[in-house]
A and B are shown apart, each in its own frame.
Chain A
Amino acid sequence: MSDSQQVRAVADVDRVVDCDAHVTEHQSDLLPYLEGPMASALRTDVDDSYGYISSFYPSAGFLTPVNTGKADATSVKTPADVREGMDLLDTDTVVLTPTQNLYLGCVQHPELAAALGRAYNAWLLDTLVDPSAGRYGACVVAPQRPAEAAAEIDDRADEPGVCAVFLPSGGVNPPLGKRQYDPIYEAAERAGLPVMMHNAAGTMLLSFPNLFQGFDRYLSSHAPVHAMQHMTHLSSMLTTGVPERFDVDFVVQEAGIGWVPYFERRFDHEYRAKREDAPILEKLPSEYLRDQFYFTSQPVEGTGDPDYVASMVELMGPDRLLFSSDYPHLDFDHSAELFRAVRSRLGPDAARGVYGETATAVFDL
């Protein structure tokens, strides 16, 4: 696209890429794709209304707008479902991400977790991924079994439409800078795939700060935890030099934007006085973040104040921000939500970048 071409609306961007478009995989989808001993161990003679598989994934027992019926729980399990969301949001390309398997990192049985991740990928590739229709997919891996996760990445990397590794990071304990996870990063590096990190609020109660056990409302949990967990993992990963040791890009999701300029400045500030805790680093932590970490936009906070939004985007660098919807989850952003502030304050180049060009490069779409 030439620079002189007008970008007045999302539709003027040649290719709008949604980097977090969820599918809603259910028991009946996953069971037929299980392999190995779990395929034999789990019963298959029950219908989906019982859905015992969902009990493998810990949840927090909150009242949410979905289970009170205040927000839709839209099902996305077929190409037509995905198309409906893309039409609603005016997107051209989606990176498909899971819903139930956002909680995979907290499944207690490690072999079961690995088997569920593998079944999800088999189902996703068989059913929904089709690059010719703009549907790409992220390969879900269970962090509980790093060696098997690496083997899964090796197996899936060359499948058409696999554009990322998906690490369900919520509640994962110990944090993702520990060397036990290195096989996952090595496999991602080998495959040339970015690693998507995505939390789920309910998972973090299990292992994130015990303070969170005091939360008894959805609001108080959901507002802070996405950014807090990302900060915890990024603190761990920067300290052990993951981005120094691995030539891998990371896509950090679902925490809004304002915490990014805060966190990188805070971490640099601390690092200058505590460098011996991260002696493997060869440059400032913020430089690693700027070179290898991308951030998806949803849920954008403060859109009633375009100056705030534009300032935060400028402070983090618009070339590191990727538009995402989170559709069909209850707090999804329409593609127009962020656009006005970015287009009016930062110009058409930034709009093209945020809404597709950067994602096209990161995911090699």
Chain B
Amino acid sequence: MVVDLDGREVAVFRVDGEFLALANYCVHQGGPVCEGRLSGTLAEAPDGTLSYDHEGGVVACPWHGWEFDVRTGEALADPNYRQPTYDVVVEAGAVYVEA
């Protein structure tokens, strides 16, 4: 879900029971990155065999398809690009994002 934190849009994901928070403003060109598909990504072995890795751990910005690791915020293709991440705390059944 996407929440507004003092004017900043932050998306909160629940992946394998873990809560994660990323800025919703794409570092590429400002697209709504966290409204894109939450998925995995293809990997290729040296012999050309394809596999699908990181299921549920990759979010793709719907504007250009840039893929980001939802845990670290790093762009898979180029870690020089990184979505800001936020710490998440769960207390007494409530989810808090530390902005």
Contact = CB atoms under 8 A, between A and B. Distances in A.
**Does chain A bind chain B?**
yes
Interface of A: 179, 240-241, 245, 268, 271-276, 279-280, 284
Across chains A and B, which 10 residue pairs bring their CB atoms closest together, nearest first? Answer: A275-B77, A280-B44, A279-B44, A272-B77, A273-B64, A276-B42, A279-B42, A273-B65, A279-B43, A272-B78
A274 B65 contact: yes
A275 B67 contact: yes
B75 interface: yes
A280 B66 CA distance: 17
B72 interface: no
B48 interface: yes
- Most chain-A Cβ atoms within 10 A of its Cβ — which of B41, B43, B44, B48? B44
B54 to A, nearest CB: 11
A279 B66 CA distance: 14
A222 to B, nearest CB: 36
A268 B80 CA distance: 13
B11 to A, nearest CB: 20
29 contacts: A241-B44, A245-B46, A268-B78, A271-B77, A272-B28, A272-B66, A272-B75, A272-B77, A272-B78, A273-B64, A273-B65, A273-B66, A274-B65, A275-B41, A275-B67, A275-B76, A275-B77, A276-B41, A276-B42, A276-B67, A279-B42, A279-B43, A279-B44, A279-B50, A280-B44, A280-B45, A280-B46, A284-B77, A284-B78
**Chain A interface main SS type:** helix
B5 to A, nearest CB: 28
A111 to B, nearest CB: 28
Interface of B: 28, 41-46, 48, 50, 64-67, 75-78, 81
A243 to B, nearest CB: 13
Contacts of B78: 268, 272, 284
B41 A179 contact: no
A280 B42 CA distance: 9
A274 B66 CA distance: 7
Contacts of A276: 41-42, 67
Contacts of B77: 271-273, 275, 284
A238 B79 CA distance: 19
B45 to A, nearest CB: 8
A75 B26 CA distance: 60
A38 B50 CA distance: 42
Contacts of B44: 241, 279-280
A284 B80 CA distance: 11
- Most chain-B Cβ atoms within 10 A of its Cβ — which of A179, A241, A272, A280? A272
Given A274-B65, A279-B41, A279-B43, A179 B48 contact: yes
A150 to B, nearest CB: 18
Contacts of A284: 77-78
A214 B60 CA distance: 41
Contacts of B75: 272
Contacts of B28: 272
Contacts of B67: 275-276
Contacts of B42: 276, 279
A179 B48 CA distance: 9
A141 B89 CA distance: 63
A268 B28 CA distance: 13
A285 to B, nearest CB: 10
A2 to B, nearest CB: 38
Nearest to A275: B77
A158 B15 CA distance: 57
